[in-house]
Amino acid sequence: MISNRVFSGVQPTGSLHLGNYLGAIRNFVDLQSDYECIYCVVDLHALTQWQDPAELANNTREVAAAFIAAGIDPETSIIFNQSRVAAHTQVAWIFSCVARMGWLNRMTQFKEKAGKHRENASTGLFTYPNLMAADILAYLATHVPVGEDQKQHLELTRDIAQKFNHDFGVEFFPLVEPLIFGEATRVMSLRDGSSKMSKSDPSEQSRINFTDSADEIARKVRRATTDPEPLPSEPAGLAGRNEAANLVGIYAALARVTVADVLAEFGGRGFAEFKPALSDLLVEKLVPISDQMRRLMDDPSHIDAILAQGADRAAAVADPVRDRVYEIVGLIPA
Ligand code: AQP
């Protein structure tokens, strides 16, 4: 059995933001030295909510460009988009027949995204975790780097793997481990420290996008909601101060230090001093990535070639797994 294969994905649903970077993409980059890595632009997942067809293909390229600009090497890691490898949907159907309604009913992301209009949500949004399980298990991946918000879906992936193995009397699918690390595993909105920074938040002010200029970053940080107190000297002093905790966490993650280290430096100082230091750090880390993304997006055919080649490499791994699944369940003779 494979012991160290990483799989993860990002949806091409709009402008990528700091939460996607610190919760996922930067960790994708770091893992390349120790794992065999497969990174997917999950375009089929994006369709669970309406996407403008004219924008979807471009958003897919943009996520691929962000992967590469952030430091994922398409020669060593596999970068591709989900819809090009049929095994994802083929295995997902099998998992739809393994997962239980009760399991999916418990998924908090469905409840949040469907909101009050549950009856109007697409059935794809409801069964999304089955496809996510197939994304991962079609590669027999063992580790999945994600932000905190995806933890429940990974637990469901483990439940599906376990039930499949049990129902068919095999030891085929591994039980995946989430890799949730860094000081900002759940980056919060700049406007409201109790809600997640998200692409679908209608307020542009709530998030820092990969594509924001240095001026836009500085303006958003300046306007970020805070409280009037100076920063505490110890992490315990951040309890009940969501907005302050969020900004300090972002700083710590970007600087690759602990929250305690940041407070040792800034404790007792007000946001008038801390915010400019945070914007400088954000600009230093994000602007080179967005510059490189822009250069890559100037040559879409190059990105398309990387995605096509990545899909061939991905299919070479996933197709035999799909075939074995078909044999196990009896769709093709063993
Ligand atoms: N705020 C966040 N903090 C930390 N990690 C985050 N991620 C997303 N938001 C945060 C992580 O980014 C990866 C890719 O996410 P996704 O694009 O597949 O979808 P999402 O989690 O639904 O992200 P958004 O931005 O909230 O998109 P919308 O608004 O379209 O739903 C995942 O690993 C996720 O954990």
Q: Residue 1 above 80 pLDDT?
A: no
Question: Does residue 195 lie in a domain region?
Answer: no
What pLDDT was estimated at residue 182?
A: 83
**Pocket of ligand 1, candidates 10, 15, 20, 179: which has the most ligand atoms within 8 Å of its Cβ, to mutate?**
20
Ligand 1 atom with the smallest distance to the CA of 45 is 18
Question: Does residue 199 lie in a domain region?
Answer: no
Number of H helices, E strands in the chain: 14, 5
What pLDDT was estimated at residue 70?
A: 98
DSSP classification of residue 244? H
User: Average pLDDT for residues 129-145, to the nearest whole number?
Assistant: 98
Same domain, 131 and 239: no
State the Cα torsion 47-50-51-53 to the nearest 10°: 90
Same domain, 16 and 82: yes
Question: Does residue 334 lie in a domain region?
Answer: no
- Confidence grade of residue 334 (pLDDT, cut at 50, 70, 90): confident
Question: Does residue 100 lie in a domain region?
Answer: yes
Residue 11 Cα to ligand 1 midpoint, Å, equals: 8
pLDDT tens by residue, 293-320: 999 999 999 999 999 999 999 999 999 9
Residue 24 Cα to ligand 1 midpoint, Å, equals: 8
Q: What is the number of structural domains in the chain?
A: 2
Please list the active-site residues.
Answer: 113, 196, 199
Same domain, 209 and 181: no
Q: Is 250 in the pocket of ligand 1 (CB under 6 A)?
A: no
User: Average pLDDT for residues 174-178, to the nearest whole number?
Assistant: 96
What pLDDT was estimated at residue 160?
A: 98
Same domain, 173 and 152: yes
What pLDDT was estimated at residue 299?
A: 98
Same domain, 218 and 123: no
User: Average pLDDT for residues 201-216, to the nearest whole number?
Assistant: 95
Q: Is 82 in the pocket of ligand 1 (CB under 6 A)?
A: no
238 is in which domain, residue-wise?
204-295
- Confidence grade of residue 14 (pLDDT, cut at 50, 70, 90): confident
Same domain, 19 and 108: yes
- Confidence grade of residue 2 (pLDDT, cut at 50, 70, 90): low
Separation CA 116–CA 54 (nearest Å): 29
Q: Is 47 in the pocket of ligand 1 (CB under 6 A)?
A: no
Ligand 1 atom with the smallest distance to the CA of 149 is 35
Identify the CATH number of the domain in which residue 225 sits: 1.10.240.10
Q: How many CB atoms lie within 10 A of CB 114?
A: 17
Q: What is the mean pLDDT of the chain?
A: 96
**E strand map for the chain:** 5-10, 36-41, 78-81, 143-145, 177-179
pLDDT tens by residue, 234-255: 999 999 999 999 999 999 999 9
Question: Does residue 122 lie in a domain region?
Answer: yes
Q: Is 19 in the pocket of ligand 1 (CB under 6 A)?
A: yes
Same domain, 118 and 235: no
User: Average pLDDT for residues 173-179, to the nearest whole number?
Assistant: 96
**Pocket of ligand 1, candidates 7, 8, 11: which has the most ligand atoms within 8 Å of its Cβ, to mutate?**
11
pLDDT tens by residue, 75-116: 999 999 999 999 999 999 999 999 999 999 999 999 999 988
- Nearest CA to 49 among 190, 199, 171? 199
What pLDDT was estimated at residue 111?
A: 94
Same domain, 177 and 157: yes
User: Average pLDDT for residues 32-37, to the nearest whole number?
Assistant: 96
Question: Does residue 192 lie in a domain region?
Answer: no
Same domain, 24 and 48: yes
Identify the CATH number of the domain in which residue 176 sits: 3.40.50.620
Same domain, 66 and 123: yes
Q: Is 59 in the pocket of ligand 1 (CB under 6 A)?
A: no
Ligand 1 atom with the smallest distance to the CA of 201 is 29
Q: Is 16 in the pocket of ligand 1 (CB under 6 A)?
A: no
Question: Does residue 193 lie in a domain region?
Answer: no
User: Average pLDDT for residues 120-146, to the nearest whole number?
Assistant: 97
